[in-house]
Amino acid sequence: MLERIWSGWRSAYVAEAPVRSGDEGESGSVFTRLLHSGAADLETHIVHRGETCFVILNLFPYTSGHLLVVPYREVDDLDGLTATETADLWATVTHAVSVLRRVYRPEGLNVGLNLGRPSGGSIPDHLHVHVVPRWTGDTNFMSAISNTQTLPEALADTASKLRAGWVAP
């Protein structure tokens, strides 16, 4: 029989998220605001900047190396991307997978996106693709019971490793 442990905190988190990121009184999504902040990539944990999209570490990662591939232009769905943006996005996702495999040697990876607020998308107005390295046993009772994630390295160290591993395809 399959046993389930529910993470009810996730439902509350999604329900409390603003309908649009800019609803907090600022214009644009958190990604747009970050890009226009003038902050250095080292400070923002941007790993790579491409032609139409960039790669950034997730500030709330499931595991070390959890990347987000994000178009520069604020678009809420795949059909809003231009052909050039679509090609660049998926080429960058593919390259991010290669970089994570080379740098972290995970046993597997999750690649995906949440389109729209009901899907669990916490930033529904600016699509982003999650690329998450996975290992057997990387989730455990800490996240399921105590709402705590354990990570073995700081984000700055993760970003440094991934920048060094980001070689042209």
Task: Say if residues 55 and 45 touch (Cβ distance below 8 Å).
Answer: no
Task: Say if residues 128 and 69 touch (Cβ distance below 8 Å).
Answer: yes
Catalytic residues: 128
Q: Which residues of 152-164 are buried (b: 16+ CB within 10 A; e: fewer)?
A: eeeeeebbebbbe
